[in-house]
Structures are given as structure tokens and as C-alpha cells.
Structure 1
């Protein structure tokens, strides 16, 4: 609620409305919630676990855009909108840890939102928070060093480093896993505090 600036009353009202179309789901680590190249039709709300969102560039290299955690909807909005007309998703969503949560049919959720002003404002707040996050990430990637990007990752996703692979973090930072290892060693040497090992 704090992250997207909505009241507890609004949160509860939207949750109760969406509960009417929510279906529980579970996937194992490494399984896809959404595949690039396949039309996106589902929103995935996470009760537990971490999901990574990204795409493959023209050279076939995997680029990580962001991570979703408990209490968030693992959703690529543009892909959902394009999916309404059968266009394939550009991004993938993959489980970095085992996931428990609920899926919501995008079309059904959109119909409910059209009938509910509280839901409209709630989803507008989510969209604005997403735009702010994208803008900050664009700046971080374009104007900072790898050390600064790692520090920004740790600030944006506290505690996440210990839960996911070093490879996933390196992809997010735009560096190699080997360079990621070097950054961690340098940070540990500077602070004298070892980071927990990743799975």
C-alpha cells in the first residue's frame, strides 16, 4: 500500500473484487509464468517467491528488466495490452524461486476495473509507480558505474541478493557473472562484511 500510495480501504476493496476471478497457482524454480513469443493473457499475483522479467535482444542475449516479489503482480502491461489482439509477448516472466500465488484473467480484470472507480485509481497508481521505477532504472543504467548499479539494486531490492542467483543479478546489472563476483569481493573487502551465498 505504501509503495503505490493507496489506502487500506482501497486495497481491501480492490482485493475483494479481484478475489472473485483469482485462481491459485504454483510453479517451480525455473518455470515460466509467461513466455516471450506467446500472447500474454494472465496477471500473476505473488503470495510468495521471486519472479524475474526480461527479454532476449537481437543477439539472443537474455536481458533482465526487473524482479517481482511477494505482494506484487508479476505483469508486463504492454504485453497484456498487445495480447488483447493476439500479439505475442516481447517479455518473459520466469520463477527465480518456487512461486505460490494467484492468476487473474486480464480481460476479466479489465472488465471489473471498467465498472469500479476505486479500481481505476488503484491501477493508475500502480502504473505511475511502474513508470517511476522504469525512469529511475533508465537513469541508473545510463549514467552510473557497475558499482553504483549494484548499490542501487541493493537499495531497490533489499534482501533479494541472498535469494536469487548471481547470474540473474549480473543480467540485471548488464555485466557478466564473473564481473559480478569481482564486484562482490571488492564490496566485501571494502566493508569487511561478507554477503550471504546465493542459491
Structure 2
């Protein structure tokens, strides 16, 4: 609710509306929720676990766009809109950990949204939050160093680093896994150096 700036009443109202079309699902780590090249028709709401979205560029290199965690809809909106006319999805969604959640048929959910103003406002907030995230992602990718991008990742996704693979994080940062290891070693060395320079009383505290 805080992330997309909606009230508890609105959240509960929308949840109750969608409960009638929600179907439970479970996937194991490494399984796809959505494949590129296949029309996207389902929204995946995560009750537990982490999913990752991305695409393959012209050189066949995997590019990670973002991560989804508990309480979020793992959704590539542009693919869902394209899927309405049978066009294939550009992005993939893959489970970074085992996932439990619920799927909702996009067309049915869209029909319900047209009938309920509270859902229209709710999904407008989701769309705005998504646009802000995309803008920040574009800035982090084009205007900062790899170390700064790693710092931004840790701020945006606190605690996620310990739950997913180093390869996935490297893909998100646009660097190699080897360089990712180097960044971690440098960060750990800097933290140790800072600790050594602290007064003894501060270290004990």
C-alpha cells in the first residue's frame, strides 16, 4: 500500500473483487512464469518468492529489467497489452526462488476494472509507480558507475541480494558475474578498513 500510495480500504476492496478470478499457482526456481515469444495473458501475484523480468538483446545477451517480490504482481504490462491482439511477449518472467501465488486472467481483470472506479484508480497508481521505477532504472543504467548501480540496487531491493544468484544481479547491473565478485570484494575490504579506523569503543558498541 505504501509503495503504490493506496489506502487500506482501496487495497482490500480491489483484493475482494479480484479474489473471484484468482487461481493459485506454484513454480520451482528456474521455471518460467512467462516466456518471450508467447502471448502474455496472465498476471502473476506473488504470495512468496522472487521473480525476475528481462529480455534478450540482439546479441543474445540476457538483460534483467527488474525483480518482483512478495506482495507484488509480476507483470510486464506492455506484453499483456500486446497479448490482447495475439502478439508475442518481448519479455520473460522467471522464478529466482520457489514461488507461490495467484494468477489472474488479464482480459477478465480488465473487464472488472472497467466496471469499478476503485480498480481504475488503484491500477493507475500501479502504472505510475512502474513508470517511476523505469525512469530510475534508466538513470542508474546510463549515468552511474557499476558500484553506484550496485548501491542503488541494494537501496531499491533491501535484503534481496542474499536471496538470488550473483548472476541475476550482474545481469541487472549490466556487468559480468566476475566483475560483480570484484565489486563485492572491494566493498567488503572498504567496510573492514573503515571498521579498523573506528575508535575501539565504537567497534565494541
Which TM-score applies when normalising by structure 2? 0.94
Q: Where does structure 1 differ by over 3 angstroms across 4 or more consecutive aligned residues?
A: none
Cα shift at 1:179: 0.0
CA distance, structure 2, for counterparts of residue 143 and residue 115 of structure 1: 42
Question: Shift of residue 192 of structure 1?
Answer: 2.2
Residues 184-193 or 41-50, more deviating:
184-193
For residues 140 and 27 of structure 2, the distance between their equivalents in structure 1, rounded to whole angstroms, comes to 32
SS in 2 for 1:59: coil
Structure-2 residue corresponding to 1:155: 155
1:44 equivalent in structure 2: 44
Q: Which residue of 2 aligns with 1:167?
A: 167
Q: Say how many residue pairs are matched.
A: 193
Higher-Rg member (1/2): 2
Quick check: 1:136 aligned with 2:136?
Answer: yes
Taking the aligned partners of 1:152 and 1:172, their CA distance within structure 2 comes to 11
Give structure 2 stretches of 5+ with no counterpart.
Answer: 194-205
Cα RMSD over matched residues? Answer: 0.7
Matches within 5 A, 1:177-196: 177-192=177-192
Q: Give the Cα separation in 2 of the matches to 1:136 and 1:177.
A: 23
User: Is 2:9 aligned against 1:2?
Assistant: no
Superposed CA deviations along residues 140-195 of structure 1, whole A, max 9, x for unmatched, are 111000000000000000000000000000000000000000000000011129xx
1:196 matched to which residue of 2? none
User: 1:32 maps to which residue?
Assistant: 32
Shift of 1:121: 0.1
TM-score normalised over the length of structure 1: 0.96
- Unpaired runs of 5+ residues, structure 1, are 194-199
